[in-house]
Structures are given as C-alpha cells and as structure tokens.
Structure 1
Amino acid sequence: MPPQPSLRHAATARTRDPPPVPPQVKARKRRSMWGFGRQRSGAAQSPCTAALIPFLATLFVASTLTFWLFTHPAGQALLRSLLEPNATRTGAFAPGNVGIGDSDEAASEPTASDALAGEERTRSDRGGGAEGGEGDGRAGEGERVGSGQGRSKAAATPASAFGSDSFLREGNATVPRILTFDLVKTYSHDSRAFTQGLLYVDHEASGGRSSGEGVFYESTGEYGRSTVREVDVATGEVLNSVAQSADVFGEGLALHRDKLYQLAWRVRTGLVYDRETLEPRGSFQHGMADGWGLSVLNESVMVGTDGSSTLFHLHSSSFKAVARVTVKDGGRRIPNLNELEVVGGLVWANVWQSNCIAAIHPDSGRVLAWLDLSELQRQASERSNQLGSPGFDVLNGIAWDSKRNRLFVTGKYWPLMFHINPRMAPLKATPQERLAELKLVRQRCQPVRQFFT
C-alpha cells in the first residue's frame, strides 16, 4: 500500500495549476464563441452568427452605395434626381432658362450651343473623348456626328449644321471648339452700371412694359451703388430700380418662378425680389463661400459660381449645394468664373479679367467652346472714350432670348449692349493650324491665376 500524502502535499496538489490547454484548442474555442468556427453536423448555429453576419453585410453594402453616390458622376446624378423629383435631367437639355416666360414649343433655329450639346451627348453615348490633360500635340479627324435620338431639341440638333463634322483631338481628349460671332445690333447701355448679373424677359412676359423688344433685369455692383433694375431693351431706359444698402455689393442675378434672386459679394446671403414690382421678398442662404454668378439650369436646380473654378449645382428651394463640378479645359482648371447664363442646356460663363465666354457642360465641367469678344470690348471702349465715360471695365453680362435665339452681351460701365449671333469658326486647313489657333485662344481666355479665394 503506497504511503498516503501528508496534509501539506495534499494542499499543494489541490492548488497546482491545471495542465495547459493546447493553442489549437484555444483557437477553436475563440472561433466557437464568436460564431465563426466550423459547426458540427447537426449543431445549432450560434446566436452571434445569426445577428452579426447580416449586420456586417448590410453595413458593407450601405457604405459602398454611399461612397458611389457621393463620388461617382452617375451616383451624383441619381442623388440629384432623388432630391429633386421634378427636375429635368441635365443630360437631356432644355433650350434655355426655365421660369422666365419662354416656351419650349416655340419654333427656333439651332444655335451653336445646341450643336455643342449635341456633340457632347453623341460622344458620351459612343464612349469617346474622355477628358484628359494636354496631349502630345497630335491631332486627328474624329468620327462624324449624327443627329442622335435625344429627348430635347439641343440633343437632337445635327451638329453638322454648324460645320462640326470633324473633331480635333489632343491625345485622348476632344478639344473645345472655337466660336466666332456676327454682330446683329447695338443698343445703348447705362455707362454708370457696374453690370454683375443680366437676364432677358420678352415683351409679353414683362407685362407689356417694354417698347416692344422685351426687358433686361440687371444687377449692378459696388458698395453704396448696387441695384436691381428693369431696363428697356430697345432704348436702354431704366424702367424701375431698387437700391441695396451700402454694405451690399451686388452680384449675379437669376429669375425663378417670378422671383429675382440676387447674390452679393463675399457673403453667403442673397436677396429676393418680386419680378413685377422689384419689391424685396426676403433673403436666402446659399451653399457657396462667395456669390458671383447665378442662373437657372432647370426647374429644380440653379448653377452658381464663387469666383473659383467650381460650378455649383444649387437646389432652387433650399439653395444647398447638391453637386460641385470643377471646370477644366485641357486638364487645366478655369478659375474666375463670373456671370452665368444657361443657353441650350450649356452654362455660358464670363471669365473675369478676360474678354472671353466659356461654354461649359454642366455635368462634366468640360469647356466645350470658347468665344472671344475682344472686338466688342474694343468697340465699347472707343464709345466710352467718345462719351467721356469714366471707369470703363471688363466684359460681364450675358442674356439669352430663347424664343428668338438672341444673345446679348455687355460689360461693367459699358455704354453699349450687343446682340450677337455666335457660330462655329471655320476650321483651319490642317490639324497643326487648328492647334496653333486654339493655343492663341487659350492664351487670351484662360486665366493665369485665381484672383480671389
């Protein structure tokens, strides 16, 4: 019979650590605890597994969808359509500003803007012409553009009607077209008006107050001199005017649902006026850091600028930014975007400190065309010198008559208002000549730097 252990030995035996558990067993226990271990056949699934796996799957799908909605262009477009159920899709362009008394059913001739919109839509449908940086200087002939099957006049207009039967390319990017213009008529303009915003309303929609050619609504700037005014097109006479307080520097102007919306410089607050009486109707807060240009893209979306290279899509009720698009030409940002006008679904923008207008695709931000108006600046300057008008300044102010396809342009302190007919410039004989011409236009039109931040 073996000897019995003493009490001391018995206590030591009871307090001794149990034998170590092998690491493989520990790992199996951890996996089983969280529900990720291999289940034995016929064993019930862990409650953690039943709850955690669907939760993680839902979280992954939700985060992926959110990232796509806010970063991918298609997702941003879908998000805008959900936020604005009554909005016209920006891919199917309407032929002008909505809400200014213009009828989409009015018969009209195709415009240069229509052709540019048609080109862009056709290229997108065929998957060509991705935007890129400056190419290697090689240029080639692109494919012919047909009329397409768009849901609007702009998209359905044959681009070939403007001689745009070939493309010029830099690398893999289609370069902007160069526009020229015909001067149709010259009108008088108040040389004391520091023009910041301009839009057109026809004679009938204005209540018959004009002398027959319609009226302009104009926003003028400078501290202590800012106004919103109604101006007779034919005579240049100011029919009605309301002045802002001395601390307001008036900026861009848009008309939506019979109300005028005026931006102000270096503030996020804009002012609202009744269109017929110009009586104040309150104010609004917008989603831009500064107020420069403003126009109506469709029933639910306005476009605005803050002096940078960003084109803001603003909800027309809340004025919150629902999208931000960077405007580029040849891979280069185009800052100093100023007064805006939507023409044929494209955004036409004055570029501050230049004599140029950029025709911009509202969704991609790509400059589709440049229009150099240096000749009009020269004529206005000569007239200003003849009149002895002080303070002659830069080109600024675009107004579009969508019923009669009339484009009006003027400038700050300009004594003249011009009715012009933009058209495609004749193509140069060789690709090298076309690239040289484009280089000169870009030197005149692309800003060297952004002046305000």
Structure 2
Amino acid sequence: MKKSVLTGFAAVLLLVSCKNDKKILDSLADYNHSMEEKGYRFGDKLNLPQEVTENAESISISFGDKETSSLTIDPKFFEFGDNEVTFNIKTKGGETLTQDATINVFSKTPEQDISYKIVAEYPHNPENFVEGFLMEGNMVYESDGLEKASQLIKYPLGSTATVTTEKQPEDIFSEGIAMAGDKIYQLTYRNKIGFVYDKNTLKKISEFPLPNEFGEGWGLTYDGKNLIADSGSNDLYFLDPGNPSKVVKTLPVGGNKTIYSQINELEYHNGFIYANVWHQPYILKINPATGEVVGKFDFTKITEEYTKNNTEHVLNGIAFKGDNMLVTGKNWSKIYEVAFQ
C-alpha cells in the first residue's frame, strides 16, 4: 500500500512537471511569434514572459557554434536579418528544455530618404540586359546577361556604339563586374565561375570558381582592398582579389524595418556601398563597416516607365561620374545622371 501511494505521488509530480514544462514552452513560443514580425534592434533586451523567467534557473541562447546567457541583442552575437537560434532553459525542477526560434534584427536608426535631381540623360542600348555597370573616366564598362546574349562591353558615355566587345559562350549568363587595378572581374549567375579580363582589351586572362559560400553570382564591386559580391540574399561577401574564390568576411545588411534580401548590382563610392534591390525601384546606401542601410533613393517614377510593359526591365545599374550617380536598368533606353540634394 505504501509503495502504491509513493508511486501515485511520483506520477502526480511527473504530471505537474510535464504540464509546467509545456506551459513554459508554450509561453516562450507565443512570445517569439509575437516578436518575429516586430523584430529587435541592437541593444534591445529580450523581455521573456514570467512563465519562463520565474521557472527558469538559467536561460541561454545558442546560435550556430556560439552561445550566450545575455538576453541582449548584441552585434557580437546576432546579425541583421533572420537569426535562427535555440533557447536553452534549465528549469528549477531540474529539467532542460529547448526551443528553436527566429530572432529578426533590424537597424536602430531609420534610413534617410535621399533626394536627388536628374541633371542629364544619355542614350543606352535597349537590347542590353544590364547586370553589371561601372565607369572610369568617360568610359562605361557594362556586363549584360541572359544565355546566348551575355557580353562584356565598353563604350563612351553618350554613345551606344561599343569600343570593345567580349561575347560570352552561349551557356554563360553574365552578372556583376568590378574594376581592380588593370583588371575587370565578372561573376556569372548559375555557372559557378567568374572571369578576369584585361580592362583595356577585355580579353580574358583567367577564370575562377565562385566561393562555396554562395551558389549564384549577382552583384560585384571593389572598395580598394576587397571585391564585394552578393548572391541574392541580404549578405555581402568580401573577396580577396588575388584569390576571388576566397571569402574574407560576410556582412549581413539590414534596415530599420526591412531586411533587404535580393541585393543586386553594387557600386562602392566615397566610403559607402550603393546597391540595387531586385524588382524594387530603390538604391540603398550601406555602411560597409556595419551593414546598416543609412540611406535610400526612390527611383519609382523612372523605373515605372520601363517596368509597365515588362516587369523584368528593372533598375539595375549604378556608376559614378564624379560625385553624381549614373543609373540605368535592364533593357533601358537611357542612362540618367543624378545629383544628390
């Protein structure tokens, strides 16, 4: 009889414990779901529900190979965008509970809306599906995509007549380009290779496999030290020009309310990275030290002229002519020169 009573008492304790554990996890899940869309900013604290904190002896968060017991959104631990984490809770009853969650992190400061005015327009070949775009002196270097139509071309601003053209094999889909010294580097979309050319002749010098860290090549630029690439997410990849297959570091990009995935064509100018967002009429101004989007240009009025008949004719070209920005897009008939205001 005594044994039976003890067994029953143990069963009751186990039942209470299981119900309490479920209550903790349900409460944590509700909290995480409510915060997923709202997100956090760096420096914010995770104000977990009382059901969790009152029953926990310790709480930690693991993220990849890192773990922290601080419930503060620290940039040493978290990054812009979706952080896939696991909550580890050791209860006062001696149980260890785990729950996966997504912690979305945004920048603390709203991005500035940068005003501009169009100061000049230049002709652009509307046959060109622009993927990469840069300028040196008065010469435009352009990488055009699509299979059976990909090419690297060079022409003077104000003319559509090319000075030099390097056609790609039919299976190549060309993407972003960057100039480093006397070389032009070019990515490809899904061919998983990149090319290096002589900038004067556009003759191919070599090719390289794209880094394993990204499966597709999109935009490319050069900051004077590293090539900077993207692959259609909100990550920027810093590459070694001497070995473009090597990722030096990865930098996630984030805005105040938006994580700008599908970052596309890139340009580095005066200490900032400028980036198109695929299928969006915006150009972002990004701090390359932090990944924070500090400014945004809205080119909706210009873009609508080209996308109204074909949604793929998107804004996708950024270059600089002195301090003025040149913008164009896929199959656009013009290049626009804009001055910041």
TM range (shorter): 0.5 to 0.7
Are residues 416 and 380 of structure 1, via their aligned partners in 2, closer, same or farther at CA, if it must alter by over 3 Å? Answer: farther
**Whole-angstrom distance in 1 between the partners of 2:278 and 2:149:** 20
Corresponding residue of 1:220: 144
Contact residue 112 and residue 294 of structure 2 kept, 8 A:
yes
2:243 to 309, 315, 318: 318
Q: Secondary structure at the match of 2:303?
A: helix
Equivalenced residues, count? 242
Corresponding residue of 2:234: 309
Q: Secondary structure at the match of 1:375?
A: helix
Corresponding residue of 1:57: none
1:344 to 270, 276, 293: 270
Identity of aligned residues (%): 29
Q: Secondary structure at the match of 1:329?
A: coil
Corresponding residue of 2:136: 201
1:400, CA displacement in angstroms?
1.2
More strand per residue? 2
Corresponding residue of 1:370: 296
Contact residue 187 and residue 416 of structure 1 kept, 8 A:
yes
1:231, CA displacement in angstroms?
1.4
Corresponding residue of 1:353: 279
Aligned residues: CA RMSD: 2.6
Q: Secondary structure at the match of 1:270?
A: strand
2:119 to 176, 184, 189: 184
Corresponding residue of 1:264: 188
1:332, CA displacement in angstroms?
3.9
Corresponding residue of 2:333: 415
Query: C-alpha deviations, 1:362-418, integer Å up to 9, x for none?
Result: 121111011110122245569xx8xxxx887101010113xx312100000000110
**Whole-angstrom distance in 1 between the partners of 2:315 and 2:305:** 12
1:229 aligns to 2:147 (yes or no): no
Corresponding residue of 2:83: none
Query: C-alpha deviations, 1:37-82, integer Å up to 9, x for none?
Result: xxxxxxxxxxxxxxxxxxxxxxxxxxxxx98xxxx9789xxxxxxx
Corresponding residue of 1:275: 199
Contact residue 221 and residue 227 of structure 1 kept, 8 A:
yes
Map residues 382-421 of structure 1 onto 2, 5 A cutoff: 393-401=313-321, 404-421=322-339
1:284, CA displacement in angstroms?
1.7
1:266, CA displacement in angstroms?
1.6
Corresponding residue of 1:334: 260
Query: C-alpha deviations, 1:213-270, integer Å up to 9, x for none?
Result: x110000000010000001102232111111001100000011111111100023310
Q: What amino acid is aligned across from residue 170 of structure 2 in structure 1?
A: A
Contact residue 356 and residue 372 of structure 1 kept, 8 A:
yes
**Whole-angstrom distance in 1 between the partners of 2:215 and 2:286:** 21
**Whole-angstrom distance in 1 between the partners of 2:209 and 2:295:** 32
**Whole-angstrom distance in 1 between the partners of 2:284 and 2:301:** 16
1:238 to 137, 144, 162: 162
Q: What amino acid is aligned across from residue 410 of structure 1 in structure 2?
A: T
**Whole-angstrom distance in 1 between the partners of 2:259 and 2:222:** 23
Contact residue 217 and residue 229 of structure 1 kept, 8 A:
yes
1:289, CA displacement in angstroms?
2.2
More helix per residue? 1
1:358, CA displacement in angstroms?
0.8
> 5+ residue gaps in structure 1?
1-65, 76-131, 135-171, 203-213, 424-453
**Whole-angstrom distance in 1 between the partners of 2:307 and 2:281:** 12
**Whole-angstrom distance in 2 between the partners of 1:231 and 1:187:** 12
Q: Return the index of the structure with the highest Cα Rg.
A: 1
TM-score, length-scaled by structure 1: 0.50
**Whole-angstrom distance in 2 between the partners of 1:73 and 1:268:** 31
Query: C-alpha deviations, 1:265-323, integer Å up to 9, x for none?
Result: 0233101111111111110223232100000012x211110011101111121121111
